[in-house]
Structure 1
Amino acid sequence: MSFTKILEYILFIALILLTLFNFYSLTVGRKKKKRGETDFRKILANLENKTFEEMKKNHLDFGEKHGYINDSGQGIFLAFDQKKKMLGITILEEFYLIPYDEVLSCEVKNDTLPKDKITNIRVELETKDSQISFAFGKKVWKEKSHLGTFLLSDAKEFCAFVTSHCIPGQKG
């Protein structure tokens, strides 16, 4: 056998292995994506149901709702009652009902680490009575990574909604 024939067989086997690997990752990737979407919907549906119960109990009408998932797989559900000027925020075990006029500020904060990494991405909501913190990212992420920028943009969007609804004269 000549060297070129051996090289052809090696390349042929490498292409077969690469094709099999791509096919495997494609099918497994789709399954993981579907499972992730199902989990996302389930988490937000549970939070929405909890919010709906609180809405009925407090005679509110949350017409505008937004859901978020952090990097720990926990949800944050944000809802607004425009008529009664109330803000509802639901997390795993808590429900916060805050009148619009009690919201003083909403800020996105994170801890910066060396090599352009960030951690502890959070929203700090200051009211007249307290300061509440909502975790959007607890793990370490590169600031420009896909998930790092996604978590930061979700946190900024959360604050933009709160600010535009609750703080007069500001649009987020």
Structure 2
Amino acid sequence: MGSHGSDPASAGNPEVTAALDALRHVVRALRLSSTAVEKAHGVSGAQLFVLGELASGKRFSIAELAARTSTDPSSVSVVVARLVQRGLAARHVSPDDARRAEVVITPAGSTLLRETPPPVQLKLIAALTALPADELAALTRGLAHMATAMGAPEEPAPMFFEPEPARPRRRKA
């Protein structure tokens, strides 16, 4: 078995320390915001984020919501299912295409949204969008490299602090 100690080459490296501190601040802001909203209003930060996208009153498909939240459709689908179950959102068949399901906010969802602070994900997206293109590209590459080095699965990640979506069980041969 390998050692659990840190790599001596990185010990005391001020850039590594600064990167870890910045990452801690981002994760902490996301966690505190999500925890506070969940405690006060019974919805997760991800659910609040999706509700905020639905607040325009437009009908969105799961794919459209995924694009608007910069998330994978399977992750958004799980969040929408929870919102529908709580009566904060509803699914309808599209009046233009019977094959298309659309999601809308309900009056209860609108009321809840008025009672909550804006989701912290909006600040995160604004901060990322404000970065110069070369810095955003470098950050994206660096984070992807870190995720790979940490053994993150290649499948889409769930929205922040949402449970992993259920995976189909593999049958034994």
Question: Highest relative contact order (Cα 8 Å, sep 6+), 1 or 2?
Answer: 2
Flag the structure with higher helix content: 2
TM-score, normalising length from structure 1? 0.29
Flag the structure with higher strand content: 1
